[in-house]
Chain A
């Protein structure tokens, strides 16, 4: 079954892009392919200079390592690790030096300096998503992907997390691609790509400050 058809999309470095569409439109599948979590069955995909279509699972993992950060709707923290250890893990997997110190700095940056040694079960939903954001941004990735990052949070927490996500992505200088079905949140990106039935139905530049 073809999920995505005729997708032709170029995203420039530093750009902020929202993938918008109803359920089943293929936005999460597109994000999975762009971030290397899934392989496309055809076509060409070049991400940060790497041809993703030629890479196997391990090649995609290596391509992600240190260069791509991903924030997921359900936070997906490792329950046996503290917040600090969770954030340090991608740095350690990529063999980066001073993993713990860098992780600590990142957690302080997302406002969780006081929760370094807490386990996920001891954190609120908003806090868990902040840890997930810190984990994604700690390696200073070239691209940050986010799949419905506020979908599991209440309104106030969702706003706070969205603010943090945009601010930190900007500070790191990462290209930011976000999947959402929230029009307001999408509008905070400079560009909105709308999908329906696996196709791009519109690609528009908006005033992010509006």
Chain B
């Protein structure tokens, strides 16, 4: 009969050193892993909660309706106004031009931390007609319905009156304007009334191509920017009565006006794209930290093994005194569980404590400040991961220890415990199954999570195989001449050597470093080097059809070699798709099919007589010029697959509140990389050309014309002649993209560095485990006349050998996977920044070497006689 759990605990407690001597490696590894997981989970949870709780303020309403390219019809407006208190406004891209007195060189009027002026605006500033693209936000007297708008000087304000404008610090910076100066937007001349301090609904406005200028309805009308076909987004925001349900009311308006094309947002989901970004980024970081925890698991396994090895005599004695295998398992399981619980609790406390610091570090990337919060859900998940990892990695040595007969334990002093792995299959399978289930079930993107886990498992197996291979190879290569080199090599493969575990533990983290640095620097390289060569120099939006010849003339006069492309630009949303007579209504879908992102909200639509440049037909045929038959559409191949569309099926879109249906004539593969205008849906002209619309254009300058004078002439000419059009220079936009990429890279690298830290904990454990053996070797060599320098060379040789192997492994594995991600997955060029990658790897390996050599230096000071007496 087995000991009761109570009796087992009494024995366990007696054998447990409350300073946890022998279990410190387990503690460190578990604390590291659970701290990382709980910090990431808490931070993500805090942001998600913040997004949810501040939804009303972020949205500036309980319910928001957005319309593309038109103002609401009278009946629509009346229906929405009946729901509650209505605030109406508009958003659009525009150009702000500085007028009046010149302030040459006045660049940093407000906000020292704002980005520097773009080259064009600086040049234009010197010539007296500074211009910059801005996000124009027209609001009415009721704005903001929720939250408080403040100017930079702390004044609480509402909508600007008359021709006054509130400008973002970026506008002040780029144009060199201050309060009281004049600005021209469209045909309206505005006075800067103040600089924006805090804009409560900024987050929910989403990404914009320029800083904000807030104006009133009168100023918008005076600008004459809103014309039929212009890319304006009308916003109708409603403050609902307390008991009203925004979701139901939003649905009721959509049902009542099914063709109006309203995009509805509620306070619960004020910024779906931000929610998605935070949730996915959080999930990805959790997976990276989980991989780090798995590395820590190796340390846990080694720690438990060393702990049980050191208690071999106690186990044998207990068995001789009549303890059964089950009793041994219970006693040590309880000891390990107590240590694990303590470690997990400490990890959770540390995780929660560092969350505000993490939020601070990621401030640029995260739109919201995350304060000190306790997210019990995230902590429970982190604790569960910790417990499952501890179970998975501690089970094998525990099972081995319990299944050994007493005398075998006594005899096995010189060789590590072996055999008995079969009993560990069940707990290990349970632990691994639990980890996979937890990771997949809690992931918003289950497939991605499963894929990541699969990839990480494959990497683990590969590293294990490589570690085993290296150990075998070290045993087989011809022995070098010289005692020191021979011993260094022997230490890699001698019985009990930790080479294999170290290759996995350190190789994973270092490979992740190389992989992340490779992917990040390659993407950055593509944006910095290749994209500007492929991308046009300017995007021009809202070019009126009637002013095309003026546009061409201005550009050609400034840059005769410029390549100008123009496409009709309409906005609309897909409302239905599928076979004729059996079309699926998008409004009826509970969840969008995977990869069917074009169904979300309104998007750009165009028409053409010819297949767009860079597109390749994958099925069907392009329509004849001037097709007068049934309206036709060509669909992006990926969308076709996502929606299971066939040639001859129909797609219905809502443009300016009118539903138009076209027959699918072809599928196209789009070259998204060309950075020009790419459209998921391209219609035959007879399908949509009659809807009011403007054109969008790109201007690509030949190398010799990429000069300040040419840019100045193009921008100045277009802004003057076409005040309603927006001219966006691509350079600053790419700068923004690189900045975001850099911050995301830093966040992922920070999560991955937990893997390296875990690897180092494993290394520290390996050093501790090898201390006795190394002391012995050193003392014997000392007796035989080895100098301290010779012992140091031996120590360095062993770790340099290991470090060199890890470097080669991390470089080969990390850059191989990075190459696959960049070239095969993203279809970008492989443009790694090798000095940076080697720098990151060097820093990682350097840390490992410092720890390895530093942790072993004490061995050189051992005095032979003292140790020999103890041996």
Which residues on A are within 8 Å of B, measured CB to CB?
A: 28-29, 32, 37-38, 57-58, 61-62, 64-66, 68, 70, 72, 74, 76-81, 85, 88-90, 92-94, 121, 135
In the complex, the chain B residue whose C-beta lies closest to that of A76 is B780
Given the known inter-chain contacts A61-B782, A61-B785, please indicate yes or no for A37 contacting B491, CB distance below 8 A: no
Interface bin, chain B: 20 to 34
A66 and B785 form a contact (CB under 8 A): yes
* Chain B 770-787 per-residue mask, 1 if CB under 8 angstroms from chain A, else 0: 000000110111111111
B785 and A81 form a contact (CB under 8 A): no
Given the known inter-chain contacts A57-B863, A62-B787, A135-B784, please indicate yes or no for A28 contacting B494, CB distance below 8 A: no
Contacts of B865 in A (CB 8 A): 29, 32, 37-38
Interface centre among B483, B781, B783 (most CB of A within 10 A): B783
- A59 → chain B closest CB, angstroms: 9
Q: Which 5 A-B pairs have the closest CB atoms?
A: A65-B785, A80-B490, A32-B865, A38-B865, A37-B865
Q: How far is the CA of A4 from the CA of B857 in the complex (A)?
A: 31
Is there a chain A Cβ closer than 8 Å to B581's Cβ? no
Is there a chain A Cβ closer than 8 Å to B224's Cβ? no
Is there a chain A Cβ closer than 8 Å to B788's Cβ? yes
Identify 20 residue pairs between A and B in the complex whose beta-carbon atoms are under 8 Å apart, listed by A's number: A37-B864, A61-B786, A72-B783, A74-B871, A76-B783, A76-B871, A77-B780, A78-B487, A78-B780, A81-B483, A81-B486, A81-B490, A85-B483, A89-B483, A90-B784, A90-B785, A93-B483, A93-B781, A93-B786, A94-B785
- A64 → chain B closest CB, angstroms: 5
- A198 → chain B closest CB, angstroms: 15
A79 and B785 form a contact (CB under 8 A): no
Contacts of A72 in B (CB 8 A): 783, 868
Is there a chain A Cβ closer than 8 Å to B105's Cβ? no
A93 and B790 form a contact (CB under 8 A): yes
In the complex, the chain A residue whose C-beta lies closest to that of B786 is A93
Contacts of B491 in A (CB 8 A): 80
Q: How far is the CA of A62 from the CA of B783 in the complex (A)?
A: 10
Contacts of A76 in B (CB 8 A): 776, 779-780, 783, 868, 871
Q: Which of A37, A58, A88, A121 contacts B783 (CB 8 A)?
A: A37
Q: How far is the CA of A90 from the CA of B491 in the complex (A)?
A: 19
- A35 → chain B closest CB, angstroms: 8
Q: How far is the CA of A208 from the CA of B675 in the complex (A)?
A: 100
- B380 → chain A closest CB, angstroms: 47
B868 and A37 form a contact (CB under 8 A): yes
B787 and A58 form a contact (CB under 8 A): yes
B785 and A64 form a contact (CB under 8 A): yes
In the complex, the chain B residue whose C-beta lies closest to that of A145 is B783
B487 and A81 form a contact (CB under 8 A): yes
Given the known inter-chain contacts A72-B868, A80-B491, A121-B414, please indicate yes or no for A93 contacting B785, CB distance below 8 A: yes
Is there a chain A Cβ closer than 8 Å to B835's Cβ? no
Given contacts A70-B783, A78-B781, A90-B784, 12 further A-B contacts (CB under 8 A): A29-B865, A37-B783, A37-B865, A38-B864, A38-B865, A64-B783, A78-B780, A81-B486, A85-B479, A92-B482, A93-B781, A93-B790
- B636 → chain A closest CB, angstroms: 64
In the complex, the chain A residue whose C-beta lies closest to that of B864 is A37
Q: How far is the CA of A72 from the CA of B776 in the complex (A)?
A: 13
Is there a chain A Cβ closer than 8 Å to B869's Cβ? yes
Name B468-521 residues within 8 Å CB distance of A.
479, 482-483, 486-487, 490-491, 494
Name B852-871 residues within 8 Å CB distance of A.
863-866, 868-869, 871
Q: How far is the CA of A80 from the CA of B493 in the complex (A)?
A: 9
Q: Which of B779, B781, B866, B871 contacts A89 (CB 8 A)?
A: B781
Contacts of A85 in B (CB 8 A): 479, 483, 486
Name B755-776 residues within 8 Å CB distance of A.
776
A28 and B869 form a contact (CB under 8 A): yes
Contacts of B776 in A (CB 8 A): 76
Which residues on B are within 8 Å of A, measured CB to CB?
A: 414, 479, 482-483, 486-487, 490-491, 494, 776-777, 779-790, 863-866, 868-869, 871
A62 and B785 form a contact (CB under 8 A): yes
Given the known inter-chain contacts A28-B869, A37-B868, A64-B783, please indicate yes or no for A80 contacting B494, CB distance below 8 A: yes
Contacts of B790 in A (CB 8 A): 93
A89 and B783 form a contact (CB under 8 A): no
Q: How far is the CA of A106 from the CA of B782 in the complex (A)?
A: 21
A80 and B783 form a contact (CB under 8 A): no
Contacts of A121 in B (CB 8 A): 414
Contacts of A66 in B (CB 8 A): 785
Contacts of A77 in B (CB 8 A): 780
- B475 → chain A closest CB, angstroms: 10
Q: How far is the CA of A81 from the CA of B779 in the complex (A)?
A: 15
Interface centre among B479, B494, B786, B790 (most CB of A within 10 A): B786
A58 and B788 form a contact (CB under 8 A): yes
Q: How far is the CA of A86 from the CA of B789 in the complex (A)?
A: 20
In the complex, the chain B residue whose C-beta lies closest to that of A70 is B783
- A74 → chain B closest CB, angstroms: 6
In the complex, the chain A residue whose C-beta lies closest to that of B791 is A61
- B498 → chain A closest CB, angstroms: 14
A88 and B785 form a contact (CB under 8 A): no
Q: How far is the CA of A79 from the CA of B486 in the complex (A)?
A: 12
Contacts of B782 in A (CB 8 A): 57, 61
In the complex, the chain A residue whose C-beta lies closest to that of B860 is A57
Given the known inter-chain contacts A81-B490, A85-B483, A85-B486, please indicate yes or no for A57 contacting B788, CB distance below 8 A: yes
- A164 → chain B closest CB, angstroms: 20
- A92 → chain B closest CB, angstroms: 4
Q: Which of B414, B486, B787, B871 contacts A61 (CB 8 A)?
A: B787
Contacts of B414 in A (CB 8 A): 121
Q: How far is the CA of A121 from the CA of B414 in the complex (A)?
A: 9
Contacts of A28 in B (CB 8 A): 869
Contacts of B777 in A (CB 8 A): 78
In the complex, the chain A residue whose C-beta lies closest to that of B481 is A92
- B497 → chain A closest CB, angstroms: 9
B784 and A89 form a contact (CB under 8 A): yes
Q: How far is the CA of A93 from the CA of B782 in the complex (A)?
A: 10
- B489 → chain A closest CB, angstroms: 9
Given the known inter-chain contacts A58-B787, A65-B785, A76-B780, please indicate yes or no for A38 contacting B863, CB distance below 8 A: yes
Q: How far is the CA of A90 from the CA of B779 in the complex (A)?
A: 13
Q: How far is the CA of A74 from the CA of B783 in the complex (A)?
A: 14
Interface centre among A79, A88, A90, A121 (most CB of B within 10 A): A79
- B819 → chain A closest CB, angstroms: 39
Q: How far is the CA of A78 from the CA of B490 in the complex (A)?
A: 11
Contacts of A88 in B (CB 8 A): 483
In the complex, the chain A residue whose C-beta lies closest to that of B861 is A57
In the complex, the chain A residue whose C-beta lies closest to that of B773 is A79
A93 and B788 form a contact (CB under 8 A): no
Interface centre among A38, A61, A135 (most CB of B within 10 A): A61
In the complex, the chain B residue whose C-beta lies closest to that of A82 is B479
In the complex, the chain A residue whose C-beta lies closest to that of B492 is A80
In the complex, the chain A residue whose C-beta lies closest to that of B776 is A76
Interface centre among B491, B868, B871 (most CB of A within 10 A): B868
Q: How far is the CA of A145 from the CA of B866 in the complex (A)?
A: 17
Q: How far is the CA of A64 from the CA of B782 in the complex (A)?
A: 9
Q: How far is the CA of A81 from the CA of B489 in the complex (A)?
A: 11
- A30 → chain B closest CB, angstroms: 11
Q: How far is the CA of A172 from the CA of B780 in the complex (A)?
A: 22
- B870 → chain A closest CB, angstroms: 11
Contacts of B786 in A (CB 8 A): 61, 93
Q: How far is the CA of A37 from the CA of B414 in the complex (A)?
A: 26
Contacts of A57 in B (CB 8 A): 782, 788, 863
Contacts of B863 in A (CB 8 A): 37-38, 57
Contacts of B787 in A (CB 8 A): 58, 61-62
Q: How far is the CA of A94 from the CA of B494 in the complex (A)?
A: 25
Contacts of B869 in A (CB 8 A): 28
In the complex, the chain B residue whose C-beta lies closest to that of A147 is B868
- B368 → chain A closest CB, angstroms: 58
Q: How far is the CA of A89 from the CA of B782 in the complex (A)?
A: 11
Contacts of A38 in B (CB 8 A): 863-866
Q: How far is the CA of A32 from the CA of B785 in the complex (A)?
A: 14
- A178 → chain B closest CB, angstroms: 16
